[in-house]
Structure 1
C-alpha cells in the first residue's frame, strides 16, 4: 500500500484542526496563493529550471506561464540570476534586474531541504526602481511629520507660564513668588497650599519653567477628576490586555511620560487612600511597574503637589497618610487669597481685561478709579478665577470704553442692582459665560436695530462678517 503524499507543514496543520482539507486541496491552495501574488513569482529546481511561473508574472511579461515551465531560467527570463542563487545558496534581496527596458527590484531566496539547496524562489518586489524611490520619499515625509508631531506633543506638555505671569506687588504674593523661585533651584517636592482659584497651577508652571527641568515635560494630574478604578492605570500605565478595555498596545502612565520633567499632582487631597501607598513608594524609589506588567520602570521626575484643604487636618482624621504628607511637604508654599492682597486686585483686573479682550476680540476697555476701588473692596471668595469671570462678563456686557461702578454692581454676588444679562455663572467655564453674555448682547442689539445685521455690527464695533460668524456659532437666526 502506497504511503500518501504529505509535507511537514500539512502534517502540522492537520494536527491542529479537527477537519483538515485533503492534502491535494492543500497543495492547490498554496499554488493558487502563489499565482495571485502581486507582480509575479518564479520557482526553479536545483538545476535552475523553472518549475513554477505565476499568472501575474506571465501577464507582466506578456507570455503564457505553461510555455516557461521546464526552461533554464536565464534562457527564459531576461537577466535572471536564479541559477546563480541555486549554486551559491546566497539570498539576494532588493536587487535590481532589468527586464524589457524596466529596472525592477526583485528578491531571490534559495530553498533548502535537509540543509541542501534544492531550488529557489524569486519575486518581483517593485516593477520600477522609481516605485522604491517614491516609497522612500513617502517614508521620509512620514518621518518628518512624526518628528513634527513629537515636537508638538512636547510643546503641549511644557509648562505655559512663568513667574512674569504671576501679577501682584503685595508683600504676600511677593513672599510666595520668592519662595517659589528658591524652590525652582532644587528638585525637592513642593506643596502648594491655597484656596480654590488662587493660582496654584500658575505657580507650578512657573516653578517648572524656572528649574533645570524646564526643557522636560510638565505633566498635570488632577487627582479629583480621575475615577478611583482608573487612577492606577493613569499614573503607572498598563500592559496590553491588563484589564477589560485595555488597549492592544498598552499605554505609558503619567510618571513614565514625565521622565526628566515635573509631575504636578493637583488636588492631592482627593487621592484615594489605597493609591496613596502606591504613590509613596513611587516617590521614594522613583520606580514602578505598569498595571499587568512585571518590568520595573525607572523615571526621573520632580513632584509638585497642590491642595485647597489643610492636609494636616486630613492626616488627623485618618484620611491622608502621614508618611506621604511628610514626603510631599518638603517645601510648603502658601498662595494667599485675593482678600489678603487687595492692593493687587486693580493690577489683576486690568491685566485680565487686556488678556480677555485679546482672546475674545472685545476691544480695549478701561476701569474707572472708583470701579477699581470697588473691585478691591470685594472679598472674591472664588479668588482670581472669580475675578476673571466677572471681568470677562463686563467686557462683553458694557458697550462703552470706560467701565463704571454701576456697571459692576449687577455682576457681584451680594450687591443689588438689575441687569438684563445672565448673571448665573456657577458651574460654568468663562468661555461658557462669555458665550451666554455675547449671545444676549447680540440678540438685544439686533432687536434694537430691527434685525438689521449691518447696523447691529456697526453699533457693536465689529465687522458685519464677524457678526454673521458669531451668530452662526451662537445659534442666533437671521430674521432679516
Structure 2
C-alpha cells in the first residue's frame, strides 16, 4: 500500500470531534479534529492497540479538558477508521462507555446472548437488526431480514404494535415455528421522548429452557397444593370433632374412641338410640381417616327398595332396563371407591340386601346391572343402627356373618340422659342455628329453663332437644327463654307427649298429689312403669342374665331386648 500523507478533512459536527485513519501496519494516514493534536492522537492509537488485543470496537480515552472521549473502531479492508466523539453535558451512553472499559463486551453480550438476544424495528415496524441466534432459528441468511416488515419475518409478533403504541409488553408468550417462547418488548425513545422504534428480547431460548421453567413452576404448585391440603387437614381434624358438641365424660370418651379408630381403616359400627348423632360421628371418622380427600357416600339401608337395591348399590350399564340413563350410572359402592361408604339404619336392611352386601364386603368385587365386566371398589365401611343386633341375630333377622363384617369395631353413642351436663351447650347451639337461619339475634336460656330440660328423659335424644328448644324460641316473647315458655308450647298443642309438663315442673306439689277431678292417668303409662320396675328388679336378681330374666317374667327374649333398649339398658 502506498504511503498516504496526512490530510486535513472538513470540520466535523459538534459531536464528532475527530477522525484518525490508520494503515494496516498502524501508521497514521489521516487525522482531523482533536486527532490532529499529537498527544490526543497518541492516546487514541494506544487505546486502539489495547482494544484490538481485546477484540473490542469501543473504548474511551481522556480528552484535552479531562472529559471522556469515546472512540468507535470501524475496521475496513486495508485501513482502520477511529472516530473520536465528545458529547456536551451528561450522556448515559458516553458515561457507560467511558467508565466501563469492557463496555463493548457488554453490548456484544446483549446482541449475541441467546437468552437476551435482540430484535430491533423502527417506528414503521421495519426490521433493522436481528441477532444471529434468531436468524439461525428461522433458517435465514445473515442480514436477509433487514429492511423487511417484521411480520413478514417473525410469526405472531407484536413488536410493530409496541413501536406504534409506545407501550411495553412484559413476559408475553409467543409461539414461533411450533415453539413457545417468553419475550419482552420495549419501545425505544429518543432524547425528546419520541418513539423511534422497539426492541424484542427473548427471555428463554427454546423448549428446553421453557420446560425447565414449567417444571419448576409445577414443583412450586405441587408444594403449595401440599401445604393447602395440610392446612385443610388441620381444619378438618378440628371441624369433624367440633360438630360433635359435648364436654361431658361420656362425650370425651366418644371423641377419644373416634380419634383412635378413624386412622385404622377398619369397618366401624355405630350404635345408639335414634337422635344421638351417629351421622355426625360417621363424618368425623371419615374426615380423620386417610380417605378424607375422597367421597363419603351416604346410603340409607332401610330406604333401599328390594327391587332397585342392585341398581342403587352397584349401578347399571347403558340400556340395562327401561328408563335407564343412556350412559349408565355408577352405583353408590362404586362412587365410594377410595373413600368411605356410610350405611345408615343397617339393622333395618332386608335379608336379600344383606346377602348382596356381604358378597361385596368379602373382596370389594361387584358387577353393574346388565354388565359382565367385574369391577372393584376399595372403600371403608361405616355402619350405624339403633337396633339390638344380639336380639335380631337370635331371631334370625340379621346375618351373623354380616355382623362380623360390619362390626370389626363397635362404638356406642351415649343417650342424652347419660350426658345431661351437655344440655346447656346443645341448647345454645340450637338457638344460634335457629337465629342464623332466620336472620335474628340468638336468644338465651335461663338457668331455670336449663334445669327444666335436664329434668326430662329425652327418648328422642339430641334431635328431640334441638327441636324442643327451637319451638320454645318461636313462642318465647323475651330474649331469655324460661321454663314457662315451654308451657306456651303446651298451650299451643305442640308439647311432645314424652316431656314432663312445664306446669307440673313449675308446681312441684302437683307431682305428689293425686289426680284432681277431671284429670286422668294413662293406663298404658302406668303399665309401662310397673313393667320397667319388674324388669330392673329381675335384671338385678339374675345378674343381667337375659334368658333367665325373660323366663321369670314370662316374656320372650326379643320383647325383653326391645324393652331394655327403650330403657337404655340394651348394652
**TM superposition score category, shorter chain reference:** 0.5 to 0.7
Number of the residue aligned with 1:248 = 326
Residues 425 and 216 of structure 1: CA distance in aligned 2, closer, same or farther (over 3 Å): farther
Q: Distance in 1 between matches of 2:270 and 2:343?
A: 10
Q: Distance in 2 between matches of 1:304 and 1:318?
A: 23
Q: Any idea what the Cα deviations from partners look like across 1:365-399, whole Å, max 9, x if unmatched?
A: 10111111111111111111111111111222212
Q: Does 1:202 align with 2:273?
A: no
Aligned pairs (5 A) from 1:63-74 = none
Q: Any idea what the Cα deviations from partners look like across 1:110-154, whole Å, max 9, x if unmatched?
A: xxxxxxxxxxxxxxxxxxxxxxxxxxxxxxxxxxxxxxxxxxxxx
Q: CA deviation at 1:425?
A: 7.4
Q: CA deviation at 1:402?
A: 0.7
Aligned pairs (5 A) from 1:450-465 = none
Q: CA deviation at 1:400?
A: 1.1
Number of the residue aligned with 2:414 = 336
Residues 410 and 194 of structure 1: CA distance in aligned 2, closer, same or farther (over 3 Å): farther
Number of the residue aligned with 2:301 = 223
Number of the residue aligned with 1:418 = 491
Normalization by structure 1: what TM-score? 0.53
Q: Distance in 1 between matches of 2:447 and 2:431?
A: 15
Q: Any idea what the Cα deviations from partners look like across 1:269-292, whole Å, max 9, x if unmatched?
A: 121111211111111101110011
Indicate if the aligned counterparts of 2:267 and 2:382 stay in contact, CA closer than 8 A: yes
Q: Distance in 1 between matches of 2:237 and 2:481?
A: 34
Q: Which stretches in structure 2 are left out of the alignment for 5+ residues?
A: 1-231, 498-571
Indicate if the aligned counterparts of 1:161 and 1:205 stay in contact, CA closer than 8 A: no
**Secondary structure of residue in 2 paired with 1:247:** coil
Q: Any idea what the Cα deviations from partners look like across 1:233-252, whole Å, max 9, x if unmatched?
A: 11100112223322222110
Number of the residue aligned with 1:403 = 481
Aligned pairs (5 A) from 1:69-468 = 162-411=240-489, 417-419=490-492, 423=494
Q: Any idea what the Cα deviations from partners look like across 1:191-248, whole Å, max 9, x if unmatched?
A: 0001111000000001101111111101000111222211111110011222332222
Indicate if the aligned counterparts of 1:173 and 1:336 stay in contact, CA closer than 8 A: yes
Q: Distance in 2 between matches of 1:159 and 1:247?
A: 38
Indicate if the aligned counterparts of 1:221 and 1:266 stay in contact, CA closer than 8 A: yes
**Secondary structure of residue in 2 paired with 1:391:** helix
Where relative contact order (Cα < 8 A, 6+ residues apart) is larger, the structure is 1
Indicate if the aligned counterparts of 2:237 and 2:288 stay in contact, CA closer than 8 A: no
Aligned pairs (5 A) from 1:8-19 = none
**Secondary structure of residue in 2 paired with 1:384:** helix
Q: Distance in 2 between matches of 1:160 and 1:344?
A: 19
Q: Any idea what the Cα deviations from partners look like across 1:50-105, whole Å, max 9, x if unmatched?
A: xxxxxxxxxxxxxxxxxxxxxxxxxxxxxxxxxxxxxxxxxxxxxxxxxxxxxxxx
Q: Distance in 2 between matches of 1:160 and 1:425?
A: 35
Number of the residue aligned with 1:105 = none
Indicate if the aligned counterparts of 2:434 and 2:442 stay in contact, CA closer than 8 A: no
Residues 336 and 378 of structure 1: CA distance in aligned 2, closer, same or farther (over 3 Å): same
Q: Distance in 2 between matches of 1:282 and 1:160?
A: 33
Which range moved further: 263-272 or 174-183? 174-183
Q: Which has the larger radius of gyration?
A: 2
Q: Distance in 2 between matches of 1:294 and 1:401?
A: 64
Q: Distance in 2 between matches of 1:343 and 1:365?
A: 20
Q: Distance in 2 between matches of 1:261 and 1:243?
A: 29
Number of aligned positions between the proteins: 263
**Secondary structure of residue in 2 paired with 1:332:** strand
Q: Distance in 1 between matches of 2:377 and 2:252?
A: 33
Q: CA RMSD in A?
A: 2.1
Q: Distance in 1 between matches of 2:238 and 2:347?
A: 24
